[in-house]
Amino acid sequence: MKVLVAASKGRTMIDDTASDVRLQAVPPAGGRRTRAGFWLIAAVYTLVMLGGTLPVPLYALWAPEMGFGPFTTTLVFAVYALGTVLALTVFASLSDRAGRRPLLAAAVLAAATSTALFLLADDVGTLLAARFLCGLGTGVFTATATAALGELAGAGHVRRVSTVSTAANMGGLGLGTVVAGLFAQYGADPTRLVFWVYLASLVPALLAVVVTPETVTARQLPALSLRRPAFPDRRAARTEFLRAATAVLAAFAVSGLFSSLVPSFLREQLHVHNVAAVGAEVGLLFIVALIAQVATPERWLSRRWPAPAFLVAGVAVLEAGLWTRSLPTFAAGTLLAGTGIGLAFRRGVGITQRLADPRRRADLLSTYFLFVYTGTIVPTLALGLLDQTVNQDVATLILAVAVVATALAGTVSRPSTAVT
């Protein structure tokens, strides 16, 4: 059967049963430059995500310097997620038309500008601007880099792409808090030295993006507009995608609660004042998520129940650690929740890559990551608001129940197609 497909210079007739979709116009996987480009983008992806969590252990140091309390801390954290949501709804899908490299380069430059603002920050307004711009760069890079990795690897390497992209994402998030904690505890300038080093590292990162092969050859002038979330056309594919997206929304709700809660919990309730230890505890969640993605058997990733099971168990144990003020219990909950986050995220990326239209790959990935960061921002803001009326234990319990309900919602249905 013949179908019409819109191209940049008219309309082209193609055979929808053919395995070669000509409009995709992706360089053939396997070339030396293409293979090098794959790993270069993966490395820069890790670095950009690392920058997203550098500020997390430093809130406790900024608070007395700038005179803000827990609610402002929550707001600063949430502004980052707001920036990512804006990027995903307005900018990220532009790479399907303008090309991957221009958007990746712009995201690196946004990260550099954000880092410069962190270096200059001496008030809450500058801190909010830096965090928001950091979120913009991260949102654009996340969806665009994941699409570029899929195209650089080739159509037959979905598992490889999902493993590498999720490793870059989770690995970067985990390393960011650890690195910032070490610099803050043992460096000469607790709140600035780490940003000087990070800013210097973005220079070779930008060069790496420039030398990577472009994977979108049928480029057009981008049209900037507020986009609606994209979903697969087929009903079965749309249902499968929504299940995976719901699971990752619940997973990153746990991540958002954890990242905004842990620094103050460790300092105020458990009297842990070593910033490196605080950064390591936050980073542990993401490092465990990374290990879970790499070490988990493939048969677990083809099923929907493992990720929600670990998430629910992790949330329950985390809550027990909060109420009993027990660091070992809290750490055990971190291990369980981190495993659930890793499984949900990697499975979701694999499903999204498989279901995405090659011509609009970044579009569907943008929707997927919109679920990710919505999961981060909603409970974080809710925690800040609830904390004004009820104590922290009750606030986190309310949100924990909501997270558990969301995690379980995606499992109440018949088995879906395995990730391939």
Which of these, 321, 329, 319, lies nearest to 399 by C-alpha position? 319
Q: What is the pTM of this model?
A: 0.77
Domains of the chain: which residue ranges? 31-212+234-409
CA distance 125 to 142: 26
Give the CATH number of domain 31-212+234-409.
1.20.1250.20
Residues 6+ apart with CB under 8 A from 226: 89, 90
Residue-level pLDDT, tens digit, the chain, 420 residues: 333 333 333 333 333 333 333 334 444 445 778 888 999 999 999 999 999 999 988 988 898 888 887 778 778 877 887 888 888 888 767 887 788 899 999 999 999 999 999 999 999 999 999 999 999 999 899 889 988 898 888 767 777 887 888 889 889 989 999 999 999 999 999 999 999 999 999 999 999 999 998 888 766 666 655 667 778 888 888 888 988 888 899 998 888 877 777 777 787 777 888 889 889 988 999 899 989 888 877 777 777 788 889 999 999 998 898 888 888 998 899 999 999 998 888 888 888 888 888 777 777 888 888 888 888 877 777 877 777 777 777 878 888 888 888 888 767 655 444 443
With beta carbons less than 8 A apart as the criterion, state whether 274 and 371 touch: no
